[in-house]
Structure 1
Amino acid sequence: MSEHTATLSAEWQALLAAPAVNVASLARTGVPIEPGVYLWRRDGEVRYLGTASSLRRRVWGRHLGRGVSLGGSSLRRNVCELLHGIPTTVTGGKNRQKVTPAQAAAIRDWLDGCTIAWTVCSSAADAAALEGRLLDEYRPPLNRK
């Protein structure tokens, strides 16, 4: 995405400029509890954009889980498809299939190789609106259309 940054809106530019933290060294208490929008990068490239009513609960409670059920995290399901070729329709939904412990560990290892940045918003509605505007402008590869 770096070749496109000059054409992105001020909102995208602000999120791209937000301080990034290595996921492997991220402390739970270092993630705000407020609502916001967050951005995952791997190898310097934007991979995923999300929104949360509580950044800490979403990032820690869903995306950085170590369990074999991927139902609560579209990011983990999309990484699973990327790494293991298991469609998100299999690991999501009410009849979802769980992954093996080794597959779950590989997903977490992939996520640990990322950086995350965020911007805090005044409300969950503001965060959702910001995410919508950002995704209308640019859709990272791990965000589904």
Structure 2
Amino acid sequence: MNNSTSTSTSGNIGPLSAEWQALLAAQQRDVTSISISDVPIEPGVYLWRRDGEVNYVGTATSLRGRVWRKHLGRGVSLGGSSLRRNICELIYGIPTTVTGSKDRQKVTPEQAAAIRAWLDGCTISWTISDSAADALALETVLLGEYRPPLNRK
């Protein structure tokens, strides 16, 4: 891997590979300003930031399906979004094992709104991949170098 100097605004990643540099350089969009048509349907890797800090990296066979339909959902079931489950744990201390499937505990409408409000305070960027396999390989490389706080080991 190519290790070069850090360009992170938060300074929390350290030396960055070319893969991290490319994702960090991708256009950041305020979550509240994007619409469903802004999010590509292609596979790719996406990055969530809050207050300039990298918080989560994910992969998707369809960026639109994952980002828009799962992570930006407003429902009380968190089973389809590890990001929303992890934010729930951060805010409310409810373990992801409790909210992690359709048969598990759902959050209240007020808790779901607070999770969405947290996400609305973020920016998101993404890079399109040629295939879902390529997206997964890129995410694996990225998470092998740095695990953002909302990604689980």
TM-score range, shorter chain: over 0.9
2:91 alignment partner in structure 1: 83
**Cα displacement (A) at 1:93:** 3.1
TM-score by length of 2: 0.92
After TM superposition, which residue ranges in structure 1, 4 or more long, deviate above 2 angstroms? none
- Percent identical: 74
Unaligned runs of 5+ in 2: 1-7
TM-score by length of 1: 0.97
1:128 alignment partner in structure 2: 136
Matches within 5 A, 1:1-145: 2-4=10-12, 7-93=15-101, 95-145=103-153
SS in 2 for 1:37: strand
The higher-RCO structure (CA 8 Å, 6+ apart) is: 1
SS in 2 for 1:39: strand
Unaligned runs of 5+ in 1: none
Q: Whole-Å Cα distance in 2 between the matches of residues 94 and 15 of structure 1?
A: 32
Please state which structure has a larger fraction of its residues in helix: 1
SS in 2 for 1:135: helix
How many aligned residue pairs are there? 145
**Cα displacement (A) at 1:94:** 5.3
Q: Whole-Å Cα distance in 2 between the matches of residues 61 and 137 of structure 1?
A: 28
